[in-house]
Amino acid sequence: MTKKILVTGGAGYIGSHTCLLLLEAGFEVVVVDNLCNSSLESLRRVEKLTNQFIRFYKVDLTDFDSLSKVFDDHTFHSVIHFAGLKAVGESAEIPLHYYEQNIGSTINLLKVMQANNCKRFVFSSSATVYGDPASVPITEDFPISATNPYGRTKLFIEEILRDQSKADKDWQIVLLRYFNPVGAHKSGMIGEDPQGIPNNLMPFISQVAVGKRDKLSVFGDDYDTPDGTGVRDYIHVLDLADAHVKSVQKIDQFRGVTTLNLGTGKGVSVLEMVKAFEKGSRKSVAYQIVDRRPGDIAECWADPAKALEVLGWNAKLGLEAMIEDTWRWQSNNPLGYEPSE
């Protein structure tokens, strides 16, 4: 029988790519999203690309009763929980909203799942839970901490999941700690569509390249890194999505909480990214060096060995593909998702 997966936040950037790969792998997909940071057009395009149907519910996960009704309509094999707010700066301005949305939503979801005896759960965590790591590469057993309210929501949710798994041994939970997701589907039809000024490096660079913004501000060139700029582990969103498909395929073999880094294991600096993007897009990317961004760390990259061992997953797409696919999406959709014709 076809397994049905509930994808929360499935209209968003990583969620939409994961829905596509889930459909291609033969799963049935139901999405719950309040569309606070996304457009239904992403899922329409996934349907077009796969020629398959996605059942969509416009529901806010903080609304317990509406979420319960979704579970009345379906029996899910497992839940992939992407939904959440993710802007670090905003989280420091309105922390209560972040705690209510991210943690409140997750508690509702876990309660509804428990009530429906659905106990397989894949969670979008983040490398941000490593805080300022003592060294790189980072393995899953590094100490965790948080430097901002967004990061704390991820850290608290991880702790809540560990508590729940201790209280009820039937839960099978996979915590996926993403490093820096970038890129887009090869078709150029779905990709990242940030609202307003992008916080993240890659969408900012691509908006400069396409002429939507004048220049990139490089946040500091005095870090203790080879060229002085920040180093991160950028991972193609399709590789990331593939790890979610493998997680739901293998989740029955896991007990309790399984924590996995999702990264490539390679660090790339801001200036290396600018140069590589200019080469890949054949556009120039103007930039200026400005002060460090508060809370930023010098370098962060993964040791991804455990994901290979446990999930049989490793990142296959390199920097060139990340840039080529970002650029195809950005140049085909300079305004992001617009309503379909």
Q: Report which of 215, 220, 188 is spatially closest to residue 204, judged by C-alpha positions.
A: 215
Q: Report which of 296, 320, 122, 323 is spatially closest to residue 225, judged by C-alpha positions.
A: 296
- CB contact at 8 A, 290 and 206: no
Q: Which of 37, 164, 172, 206 binds ligand NAD (CB under 6 A)?
A: 37
Q: Which of 6, 7, 12, 223 binds ligand NAD (CB under 6 A)?
A: 12
- CB contact at 8 A, 76 and 118: yes
Residue 57 interacting partner from ligand UDP, ligand NAD, none (CB closer than 5 to 8 Å by kind) = none
Residue 124 interacting partner from ligand UDP, ligand NAD, none (CB closer than 5 to 8 Å by kind) = ligand NAD
Residue 199 interacting partner from ligand NAD, ligand UDP, none (CB closer than 5 to 8 Å by kind) = ligand UDP
For ligand NAD, which is the closer residue by CB, 60 or 296? 60
The SS3 of residue 108 is helix
Helix, strand, coil abundance in the chain, percent, nearest 5:
40, 20, 40
Based on the shown chain and the rule CB under 6 A, indicate whether residue 232 belongs to the binding site for ligand UDP: yes
Q: Which of 178, 277, 327, 337 binds ligand NAD (CB under 6 A)?
A: 178
What residues from 178 to 207 belong to the interface with ligand UDP (CB under 6 A)?
180, 199-201, 204
Distance CA 150, CA 148 (A): 6
Based on the shown chain and the rule CB under 6 A, indicate whether residue 84 belongs to the binding site for ligand UDP: no
Distance CA 261, CA 140 (A): 6
Based on the shown chain and the rule CB under 6 A, indicate whether residue 106 belongs to the binding site for ligand NAD: no
The residue behind tokens 């922390």 is 95
Question: By Cβ distance, which residue is nearest to ligand NAD?
Answer: 12
Of 78-86, 212-220, 257-265, 302-310, which part binds ligand UDP (CB under 6 A)? 212-220
What letter would DSSP give residue 172? E
User: DSSP H helical segments within 185-304, as ranges?
Assistant: 201-209, 237-250, 270-281
Which helix (H) or strand (E) segment holds residue 4: the answer is strand 4-8
Structure tokens at 167: 């209280």
> What does the DSSP assignment read for 41-78?
HHHHHHHHHHT---EEEE--TT-HHHHHHHHHH---SE
What residues from 49 to 88 belong to the interface with ligand NAD (CB under 6 A)?
60-62, 82-86
Quick one: how far is CA 331 from the chain centroid?
Answer: 22
For ligand UDP, which is the closer residue by CB, 56 or 301? 301
Of 2-10, 55-63, 160-168, 215-223, which part binds ligand UDP (CB under 6 A)? 215-223
Annotated catalytic residue 98? no
What residues from 111 to 170 belong to the interface with ligand NAD (CB under 6 A)?
124, 126
Structure tokens at 41: 């057009």
Based on the shown chain and the rule CB under 6 A, indicate whether residue 218 belongs to the binding site for ligand UDP: yes
Which member of 98, 130, 150, 337 is catalytic? 150
Catalytic residues: 150
Binding site for ligand UDP (CB under 6 A): 180, 199-201, 204, 216-219, 230, 232, 270, 293, 296
Binding site for ligand NAD (CB under 6 A): 9, 11-15, 33-38, 60-62, 82-86, 101, 105, 124, 126, 178, 181, 200
